[in-house]
């Protein structure tokens, strides 16, 4: 999106503040806009409850597919469950609908106070933490991904910007939640052509660039490897300084990550788990997030 278009869109979205969606969701503050939707801090005036509302605004090519993906994001997140409840480390989607006045589709989620993992890392000295801290922080998210995989859902866009650290009451440890299932792949549905590339390049697995239909739970395992590597070292293992998509793809396809054990940032058992996540050979990578979670637990038990 060009800067002028982005500015115009932001003004349009900000102009909706104060209005009601579907007669009950008051838009209280404009938080930001992406390619398909604008997000607002809102209030359910009927229930007197704070929430977040995302309003669909995509126009142009592939609008129908974008709309299906927008609505399906909420449906997908609600498939990631523990018992009869949405997994506690997945953002809870409360409602989906179409505004009776404007005709625009919208989704409603719980309102989260805190910041993204990306912003948190940027606030740290050298933008990094210990391997022990990183694994403890990310483990609940891995559990959420494991439940997603068991429900036939592959996220496909795991990255620090899509992990939100929710402020804990009383100043306790922040709770990490997974955001944005908009590019998720379901075992029983497909919306994307086989030639499409979805995700954020630096966190995408080699097979994601070659053929999106080959993506399975191991795609998310690769992303967890990249995220853990970045949390421990301060930089992702691939794509640092790369100026083009092709340059990032070449690195991911051919470059071996610098050992976190060799540079003293992780113990051998921790590095072994992260390194296995980043195996280009699918048969050598953990089969899914549950297998990764078990490996992490065993590594810390052994240590």
Catalytic residues: 157
Q: Give the H/E segment covering residue 185.
A: strand 185-186
Q: What share of the chain is helix, strand, coil (3-state, %, to 5)?
A: 40, 20, 40
In whole angstroms, give the CA distance from residue 6 to residue 225: 33
Quickly list H helices, the chain.
3-14, 63-77, 117-123, 131-150, 206-210, 217-233, 245-254, 268-277, 289-302
In whole angstroms, give the CA distance from residue 120 to residue 180: 18
CA 4 from centre of chain: 27
In whole angstroms, give the CA distance from residue 159 to residue 225: 10
Helix axis angle for 131-150 and 289-302, nearest 10°, is 150
Beta strands at 93-98 and 85-86: parallel, antiparallel or unpaired: unpaired
DSSP string, 189-200: B--S-TT---S-
170: phi then psi, degrees, rounded to nearest 5: 80, 10
């Amino acid at each position: 999106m060009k800067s002028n278009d982005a500015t115009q869109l932001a003004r349009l979205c900000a102009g909706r503040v104060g209005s009601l969606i579907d007669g009950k969701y008051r838009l209280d503050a404009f938080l930001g806009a992406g390619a398909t939707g604008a997000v607002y801090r809102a209030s359910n005036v009927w229930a007197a409850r704070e929430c977040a509302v995302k309003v669909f605004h995509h126009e142009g090519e592939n609008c129908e597919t974008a709309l299906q993906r927008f609505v399906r994001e909420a449906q997908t997140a609600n498939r990631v469950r523990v018992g009869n409840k949405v997994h506690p480390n997945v953002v809870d989607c409360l409602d989906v609908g179409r505004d009776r006045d404007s005709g625009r589709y919208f989704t409603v989620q719980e309102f989260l106070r805190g910041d993204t993992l990306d912003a948190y890392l940027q606030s740290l000295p050298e933008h990094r933490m210990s391997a022990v801290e990183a694994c403890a922080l990310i483990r609940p998210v891995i559990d959420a991904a494991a439940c997603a995989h068991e429900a036939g859902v592959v996220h496909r866009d795991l990255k620090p910007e899509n992990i939100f650290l929710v402020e804990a009451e009383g100043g306790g440890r922040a709770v990490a939640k997974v955001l944005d299932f908009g590019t998720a792949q379901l075992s029983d549905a497909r919306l994307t052509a086989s030639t499409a590339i979805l995700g954020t390049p630096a966190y995408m697995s080699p097979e994601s660039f070659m053929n999106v239909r080959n993506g399975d739970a191991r795609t998310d395992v690769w992303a967890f490897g990249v995220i853990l590597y970045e949390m421990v070292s301060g930089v992702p293992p691939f794509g640092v300084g790369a100026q083009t998509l092709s340059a990032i793809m070449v690195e991911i396809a051919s470059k071996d990550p610098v050992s976190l054990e060799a540079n003293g940032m992780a113990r051998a058992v921790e590095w072994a788990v992260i390194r296995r996540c980043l195996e280009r050979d699918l048969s050598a990578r953990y089969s899914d997030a549950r297998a990764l979670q078990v490996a992490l637990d065993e590594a810390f038990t052994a240590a």
